[in-house]
């Protein structure tokens, strides 16, 4: 089954977790797997060191020209290269990319107030299919472009959905720094459908990053994904944690 695995930036900021997940992903069939990653924590730290405040609207980062430049240096640069190196050391043949390469992910401006934050419109899968058919593991940073060559910072969850839809994946896995989706009482929800997701968003239970993640999940279900799993990357020991009985995390489907 074709799958897209999205790694949150917080997980990649911890060497032990990053190396363990690299070992897990290196054992997956590269002919069916694409990795997408964020780098929000690294971005925020990079900006703070330069006296640049981070502002978020609806869980999305406002992307000024300074922030856009940092995305290229940090997310598409150091974070991507470090992850690719670790995957290769674990036995994969990983190739670092962003949505800019070969026009992989096309995006448009989300809104004026969000600046150079982009909304993914389509993923052109030819590059991914070329790489995976040859046994390479694509590792895609959350940057996209448009026909004019404008570069956009894209929420990694939303980019993962676009990549999954364009690539023809049936499974999307979000490995993150939270244990699961929680209900209004703070309890783990083991399964959600589209109606449940919308309810958590509309009632304000899902806030900030989880709000954005569930919106991405809804888009994924609409795009034809069969199953989506959100779980704590820090607890994942092998891929059976998202393929098997799923004793932790949250499964999202139309079932």
Q: What is the pLDDT of residues 203-220, one digit of tens each?
A: 989 887 788 889 889 988
Which residue ranges form the domains of the chain, and what is each CATH number? 3-252 (3.40.1160.10)
Q: pLDDT-derived band of residue 61, with 50, 70 and 90 as boundaries?
A: very high
For the cut 90, the answer to whether the pLDDT of residue 228 exceeds it is yes
Q: Dihedral sign, CA of 206, 208, 214, 218?
A: positive
Residue 22 to residue 88: CA distance in whole angstroms: 8
Residue 227, Cβ density class (10 Å: 0-12 exposed, 13-18 middle, ≥19 buried) = buried
Residue scoring higher pLDDT (25 or 1): 25
Q: Which residue do the tokens 């309890």 mark?
A: 187
CB 251 within 8 A of CB 226: no
Catalytic residues: 6, 9, 40, 157, 213
Work out whether strand 171-176 and strand 227-232 pair parallel, antiparallel, or are unpaired.
parallel
Q: Which H or E run includes 167? A: helix 156-167
Strand 3-7 and strand 33-37: the pairing is: parallel
d(CA 74, CA 247): 34
Residues 83-135 pLDDT 10s: 999 999 999 999 999 999 999 999 999 999 999 999 999 999 999 999 999 99
């Amino acid at each position: 089954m074709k799958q897209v695995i999205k790694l949150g930036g917080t997980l990649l900021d911890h060497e032990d977790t990053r190396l363990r997940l690299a070992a897990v992903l290196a054992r997956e069939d590269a002919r069916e797997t694409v990795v997408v990653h964020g780098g929000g924590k690294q971005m925020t730290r990079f900006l703070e060191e330069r006296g640049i405040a981070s502002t978020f609207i609806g869980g999305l980062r406002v992307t000024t020209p300074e922030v856009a430049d940092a995305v290229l240096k940090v997310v598409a640069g150091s974070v991507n290269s470090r992850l690719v190196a670790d995957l290769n050391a674990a036995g994969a043949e990983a190739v670092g990319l962003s949505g800019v390469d070969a026009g992989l992910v096309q995006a448009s401006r989300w809104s004026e107030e969000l600046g150079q934050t982009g909304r993914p419109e389509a993923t052109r899968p030819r590059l991914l299919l070329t790489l995976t058919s040859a046994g390479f593991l694509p590792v895609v940073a959350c940057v996209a472009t448009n026909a004019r060559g404008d570069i956009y910072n894209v929420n990694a969850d939303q980019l993962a959905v676009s990549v999954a839809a364009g690539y023809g994946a049936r499974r999307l896995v979000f490995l993150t720094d939270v244990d699961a989706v929680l209900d209004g009482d703070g309890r783990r929800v083991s399964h959600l459908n589209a109606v449940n997701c919308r309810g958590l968003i509309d009632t304000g239970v899902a806030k900030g990053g989880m709000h954005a993640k569930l919106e991405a999940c809804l888009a994924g279900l609409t795009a034809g994904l069969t199953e989506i799993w959100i779980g704590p990357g820090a607890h994942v020991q092998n891929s059976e944690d998202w393929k098997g009985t799923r004793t932790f995390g949250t499964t999202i489907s139309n079932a």
